[in-house]
Structure 1
Amino acid sequence: MSALLFVFFPFVRQVDAHAYSASYTTLNLTKSSTEMAYSLDELSVIELVGGDINENGMLEEEEFAAVKDQLLSLLQQNITMKIGNVPEDWTHVESINLTRQGDETKVVIKISFPPVPPSQPISLTDQLYINNTATANYVDLLTINYGKQKSTSALSGKSRVWAMQMTDDEYADLHQDAESLQLNSDSEQAAEQPNAVTEQSNTHSGWFSFFKLGIQHILSGYDHLLFLFSLLIARQTFKQYATMITAFTIAHSITLTLTVLGWIDVPAELVEPAIALSICFVAIDNMVRDRVNYRWVLTFLFGLVHGMGFADILKEMDIPRNELAVNLISFNLGIETVQVIMIAVLLPLLALLHRWKYAKRAVYVSSSVALVLGGVWLVQRIWFN
């Protein structure tokens, strides 16, 4: 059964690998210009262009200065802005800075492009990491401000193109400059906004991109999948399985939503070790008890922690109120889709396993493997992050 564990979970990777690369892009569309702000996390920059001479996992100012031109060239090759179906050159790079906010460090690039003419499309293609299978879990979370409206999209996996074309009314509502757009956006953030008259294809791609992001996020979240496997492998009735999975779904949905809304904000330095600890706890529970009871309680408590882990990728994104519910539901449905498929595949196999005379030994061995992996992650996340 431990072989089955490795079939379903490709854990053969370096424990110190960069788990998720995320960039955040904001487009401000006005009648006078198209302003793009692109930010990329520090570890991704090091992966892409190096520069960490002293190997401390950080870029000092002088280290960043040595590689920023190389980084800018790489991004120009992989990120394409098209206005009216014509690719735009990065001739007006206003700034490229290394910014630190608390424990987070990002490179922020601001670029100015020509305005979008009336009745013309605009598109953004992000091919960063596209051929790097080791970091296929890259995502560019995109926010677009135009007039009084705002929309979002998640560029990830093989779906790396965002496009839209404003209606005449939307174009007429554009502000003359990016500064007035930002002031208007800030002043109306707390107010209810009217339903956006956005192009149907753009709205569809928005929610569907978050659905796909949810799928990719959990598929790359080996710790979440291992936790779920550890919960399932212990012998239980169908009712126990159903209750346990329902408890996990409700719990992680609660904290996912509260974290993205900003109502709770637990640092990743606490959440990530707690996720690893949850794997260890369940694995030990499988090894010391012949039969598990009331596991749904344990699952609910740990599910609250895992929900905060799911939300980490979204909490920095300024999702507009009129899209927040749809995007959150879509993201969560993507996660649940993977979980349901995994459970549908595993439960019949587990039913056969528990009829085997060596079933108890198989559960013990598989749980031991989970305990070792969880323990490695726990040590890594406490002492090496």
Structure 2
Amino acid sequence: MNRHIPIISTLLSLLLVAFIFSPKPAEAHSYSAGYTKITMDSKKTQLLFTLDTLSIIELIPGIDANKNFVLEKSEIKKNQHHLNELIEEGLTLDKGNKEQTPKITAMKLVKKENKEYLSTYMTFPAFSPGETVEFNDGFYYNDTGTNYVDLITASIYGESSEGVLQGKDRTWTFLVTEVQQEQGQTTQPDATKVQPKSAAKPAEKATSTSWFSFFKLGMLHILTGYDHLLFLLALLLRKQTFKQYAAIVTSFTIAHSISLSLAVLGWVTLPSRFVEAAIAFSICYVALENIFRKEIRFRWSLTFLFGLIHGLGFAAVLKEMAIPKSHLAVALLNFNLGIEAVQLSIVLLLLPLLSYLYKLRHSGKIVIYGSYAIVALGAIWLFERIFL
């Protein structure tokens, strides 16, 4: 009886990993993303905030009167007051330490790919040189169960800046200077503290892309990308040589880096429904290989092909930001580095566990049963992404 304990415990561990990687409840990427666009000139400041409608329904209980998980124009009109309150309390633009009063000019439903969003148009007073400006996002701030991010693009007197607000870093700060107004230059936005007003001009060679915020965004994206993680587990689950493992991880990294870059640059575009369904199919295919193939050979080539598809899935969040090409290289590099840091950490964690598993008497059966569990999860996602 005792001889079965290691088998049962290992199998339960695999199922626990599969459960952790499973979507909540039916989404493969369980975070909510807001998109903020700020346009500032000498006359006024405009702010466009876009949030997916499912988050709106979650944030305002009762707005979805017919419980169909679709935000309709009639529901927006009926709950206009609550929507205005939600936006005005969740987003603030401060001059120094004084909150500025916004004017909401319009709210529109927009559809991108197969997802619906609510875009809110707001205007604020103009900001003058020498003034410190703070943008604060308080959505989901106290909700530890939601990995919310706000992706910011700004045009300050014609010059572009980007930022990412996530976790507890919810303040994006910059100083409007005479240099900005006259020559179109901008200082480095800081996500955590106010720049001193004594800074009369931006530092030389300052970049307007916060590299670490994109690194963290990449880490969050892969950590909440349960389908990508499950695909990685399926690739490694079958016993292989260290050389084969290294080839698999390398080919996956190269492939998704290529397609991620091409997609964000706009050179490759595929419907998101097709990409997400193909990712689910890749999980099923690799897990079925684990079950039915007697020998695993040249898995790196298969991984490269599927990696191209996974890279298109990674690209979705950056594509929405519409980052200027002059800043895109830094954002892409650090976003990808964040993904790779997490991916490599997971591989280094899994390999010793798998090495122990292969020493067990019934390791073959554990791999087979674990692969069946992975096929089941992948099939559920595949069905949802094709038919729902």
TM bracket (short chain): 0.7 to 0.9
Deviations 1:35-69 (A, max 9, x none): 11111122222222253333333222112212232
Q: Secondary structure at the match of 2:318?
A: coil
Deviations 1:225-282 (A, max 9, x none): 0100110111111110111111101110111111111111111110111111111111
Q: Secondary structure at the match of 1:135?
A: coil
Shift of 1:12: 5.8
Which residue in 2 is equivalent to 1:193? none
Q: Secondary structure at the match of 1:133?
A: coil
Which residue in 1 is equivalent to 2:165? 155
Which residue in 2 is equivalent to 1:29? 40
Indicate how the Cα distance of structure 1 residues 203 and 159 shifts in structure 2: closer, same or farther if over 3 A, else same: farther
Whole-Å Cα distance in 1 between the matches of residues 171 and 236 of structure 2? 38
Whole-Å Cα distance in 1 between the matches of residues 302 and 178 of structure 2? 55
Is 1:293 aligned with 2:303? no
Is 1:85 aligned with 2:97? yes
Whole-Å Cα distance in 1 between the matches of residues 205 and 346 of structure 2? 31
Q: What RMSD in Å do the two structures reach over aligned CA positions?
A: 2.3
Is 1:106 aligned with 2:110? no
Whole-Å Cα distance in 1 between the matches of residues 205 and 166 of structure 2? 18
Letter in 2 for 1:330: N
Shift of 1:103: 4.2
Which residue in 2 is equivalent to 1:41? 52
Equivalent pair of 1:211/1:333 in contact (CA under 8 Å): yes
Letter in 2 for 1:37: L
Which residue in 1 is equivalent to 2:218? 214
Q: Secondary structure at the match of 2:43?
A: coil
- Structure 2: 5+ residue runs without aligned partners? 1-9, 186-200
Which residue in 1 is equivalent to 2:11? 2
Equivalent pair of 2:49/2:119 in contact (CA under 8 Å): yes
TM-score after normalising by structure 2: 0.87
Is 1:233 aligned with 2:242? no
Q: Secondary structure at the match of 2:317?
A: coil
Q: Secondary structure at the match of 2:154?
A: strand
State how 1:221-260 maps to structure 2 within 5 Å: 221-260=225-264
Which residue in 2 is equivalent to 1:132? 143
Which residue in 2 is equivalent to 1:313? 317
Q: Secondary structure at the match of 1:293?
A: coil
TM-score after normalising by structure 1: 0.87
Equivalent pair of 2:21/2:227 in contact (CA under 8 Å): no
Indicate how the Cα distance of structure 1 residues 300 and 13 shifts in structure 2: closer, same or farther if over 3 A, else same: closer
State how 1:326-341 maps to structure 2 within 5 Å: 326-341=330-345
Which residue in 2 is equivalent to 1:181? none
Letter in 1 for 2:34: S
Is 1:375 aligned with 2:379? yes
Aligned residue among 248, 270, 275 for 1:271: 275
Whole-Å Cα distance in 1 between the matches of residues 90 and 15 of structure 2? 34
Indicate how the Cα distance of structure 1 residues 290 and 347 shifts in structure 2: closer, same or farther if over 3 A, else same: same
Q: Secondary structure at the match of 1:217?
A: helix
Indicate how the Cα distance of structure 1 residues 102 and 298 shifts in structure 2: closer, same or farther if over 3 A, else same: closer
Whole-Å Cα distance in 2 between the matches of residues 260 and 26 of structure 1? 18
Whole-Å Cα distance in 2 between the matches of residues 341 and 165 of structure 1? 38
Which residue in 2 is equivalent to 1:122? 133
Indicate how the Cα distance of structure 1 residues 173 and 205 shifts in structure 2: closer, same or farther if over 3 A, else same: closer
Equivalent pair of 1:148/1:173 in contact (CA under 8 Å): no
Report sequence identity in percent.
42
Q: Secondary structure at the match of 1:312?
A: helix
* Count, aligned residues: 361
Q: Secondary structure at the match of 1:39?
A: strand
Q: Secondary structure at the match of 2:169?
A: coil
State how 1:336-355 maps to structure 2 within 5 Å: 336-355=340-359
